[in-house]
Amino acid sequence: DTGGPWAQLCVSAFSLCSQLLSTVILHHAQLAAEFVQHNGLKLLQSRRLLDSSCTTVVVDMLLIISQLARLSASYYPQLQEHVPSIYEDLSTILASSSASARAKACNTIGNMSRHSDFFYQHFARTPRLIPLLIQLCSDYDP
Chunked in runs of 10, what are the mean pLDDT values of the chain (142 residues)? 63 86 95 95 87 90 96 93 91 94 96 93 94 90 66
pLDDT at 47: 85
- What's the rounded Cα separation, in Å, for the pair 58 and 52? 6
CA distance 91 to 130: 8
99-112 and 129-136 are packed helices; what angle lies between their axes, rounded to 10 degrees? Answer: 120
Query: What is the predicted pLDDT for the residue at 43?
Result: 87
> Quick one: pLDDT at residue 1?
47
What pLDDT score was predicted for residue 139?
81
Angle between helices 29-37 and 4-27 (to 10 degrees): 120
Cβ count within 10 A of residue 76: 16
Burial grade of 22 (CB within 10 A; 0-12, 13-18, 19 or more): buried
